[in-house]
Structure 1
């Protein structure tokens, strides 16, 4: 199967500044990829390239083997869904109507088919009992689940998320990533909280000043050397009784105290 997304030496300049430099990455269908790096490393810009919102200054972005920049907007919308850092939703909309917005790219589908897709999306995100609530009455975690239900209803092949766990508590962050991990689509998420990466990601792409510094399984990217070198923090891989693999714990180094 052709890669869901394939970047060939993609570079991006914005306002004369190099934001991404010769990024090459192939993301097969069904892969869950976490994009990490310091602030300003180029994570959001990379997602915008992958969404077709920006065109590379040099290089190419392919979707299923086709030039993403050449695809019409409606065709891209049937293939790629995007969740931004700060999603806006009209507070008076019912949850079901908000989730149904994901069906806009599939306007030609029979109404009964779209209704079934919306039902399934609500159920997947545990929102069936809340479907008649107004969006403005939802808690932060419930709203984020509604956002995910909306993009699931879009039935994309690729789901792009820019810091989807911002402003959520630890339990809600974990629930959000568990929802993503259960999706049988390509999921690419820029994450700020490194400790959550292993919960859903098959691979980690580490960016440093717009370049790929590492692209591998979480355990091979989150090594003490790489983590200390790129984030100036320490990582410890700790075994837990109920986990199949060690859990990565990130901690700032102890300050040097004068005697």
Structure 2
């Protein structure tokens, strides 16, 4: 069965040990959208991703993919719709890169050898790993391992890709490379991110969570306003022009050391930071 790959969260709440982790969150994600989930620590980003992945069941409300209740989809069918990249992927270091990426084909039991090989080759090439496919996973750098995790998810041929802090523990350049890779995908991508300055590089829209509630959902420039950033992160935000480009970079600074901007800058609907 083929679904229209729209993901919707319908007034979903989540309770854990008498604590409200998510409070009536509603969100519609059309196919092909790239969404960043942001918020302070403990705001509910990871929990919302787990609801979207079907790993957690909401205490109230529900999640649908293509109009179908996610909780009612069999595991294999769900895995052909959604792929997940965790913050800390557990990988056997003796696996070769190609064998690790091939694990993404597990949901496609009916596929031929040729179909499996084509999906793996495409994922390796897209993540610039075709030259590393015979390397052991333990020999890869942090950025290469993260690209391998994304390649494994892409080999799954999902309609929707969910990532929890995919740039965590990576250096600045590698973080930018990973987000550039995600920005170039033609599937729905939803990623929880903590590095706010890199969000406009990847996201069409931003969902801001705070204390389990959805505070805002809009274009990056409309979510990263002085009022919302200061109120939710305790930081100031400035937009500075990039040399020789019609773009601006978002700079986040402690209000104890920064001065409020004197003039608002007009910025495009989707900004890049490099």
Q: TM-score range by the shorter chain?
A: over 0.9
Aligned to 1:251: 253
Match of 1:25 among 10, 24, 27: 27
How many residues are matched?
Answer: 256
Aligned to 2:7: 5
Partners of 2:83 and 2:244 in 1: CA distance = 34
Aligned to 2:110: 108
- TM-superposed CA distance for 1:242, in Å, is 4.1
Match of 2:161 among 159, 162, 168: 159
Residues 1:53 and 1:239: Cα distance change in structure 2 (over 3 Å): same
Aligned to 2:216: 214
What secondary structure is seen at the aligned counterpart in 2 of 1:48? Answer: helix
Partners of 1:114 and 1:57 in 2: CA distance = 38
- Structure 1: state its 5+ residue gaps: none
Partners of 2:136 and 2:147 in 1: CA distance = 14
- TM-superposed CA distance for 1:3, in Å, is 5.9
Alignment check: 8 A CA contact 2:76 2:107 kept: yes
Partners of 2:132 and 2:257 in 1: CA distance = 48
Partners of 1:192 and 1:49 in 2: CA distance = 19
Alignment check: 8 A CA contact 1:2 1:28 kept: no
Aligned to 1:87: 89
Q: Does 1:68 align with 2:32?
A: no
Aligned to 2:182: 180
Alignment check: 8 A CA contact 2:5 2:159 kept: no
Q: TM-score normalized by structure 2?
A: 0.91
Aligned to 1:147: 149
Partners of 1:97 and 1:147 in 2: CA distance = 12
- Structure 2: state its 5+ residue gaps: 259-274
Pairs within 5 Å for 1:98-137: 98-137=100-139
What secondary structure is seen at the aligned counterpart in 2 of 1:196? Answer: helix
Partners of 2:236 and 2:131 in 1: CA distance = 43
Partners of 2:250 and 2:20 in 1: CA distance = 32
| Superposed CA RMSD | 1.3
Of 169-178 and 245-254, more deviation after overlay is shown by 245-254
Partners of 2:254 and 2:150 in 1: CA distance = 32
Partners of 1:79 and 1:242 in 2: CA distance = 41
Partners of 1:202 and 1:196 in 2: CA distance = 12
Q: TM-score normalized by structure 1?
A: 0.96
- TM-superposed CA distance for 1:241, in Å, is 2.2
Q: Deviations over 1:177-214 (max 9, x none)?
A: 01100111110000011011001100000001000100
Q: Runs ≥4 in structure 1, deviation > 6 angstroms?
A: none
Alignment check: 8 A CA contact 2:5 2:160 kept: no
Alignment check: 8 A CA contact 1:34 1:201 kept: yes
Alignment check: 8 A CA contact 2:21 2:212 kept: yes
